[in-house]
Amino acid sequence: MHLIKQIKKEFKKHPFDYLLFMTVCVFFILALSIFRGERLLEFIILLAFVSFYIIWGIYHHIIENTLHLKVVLEYVLIGFTVLFLIKILIMP
């Protein structure tokens, strides 16, 4: 329950940031489904999404004035972990 309250609080505080992120997520999923089977395009779309995620995270923390090297590394590590997992598990 605490996580849901925190998400609602953050969404109310920065609605544009999270609407932008959710919109890009939807387009990412649609693009992957449209280009299913095109391995190179799927990888490029996935790489573009991970890049967006990292840039979005940095931007979001700049706005909140909470940007630190640790936060940047966290976004980079999470982004490339997702890239690796999706590439290995979903795109054999």
How high is the pLDDT of residue 11?
85
Neighbours of 40 (CB within 10 A): 8
pTM of the model: 0.88
Domain boundaries, the chain: 2-89
Alpha-carbon distance of 42 to 21, in angstroms, equals 19
Alpha-carbon distance of 38 to 91, in angstroms, equals 10
Alpha-carbon distance of 58 to 49, in angstroms, equals 14
Alpha-carbon distance of 11 to 60, in angstroms, equals 12
pLDDT in tens, 16-26: 999 999 999 99
pLDDT in tens, 27-82: 999 999 999 889 899 999 999 999 999 999 999 999 999 999 999 999 999 999 99
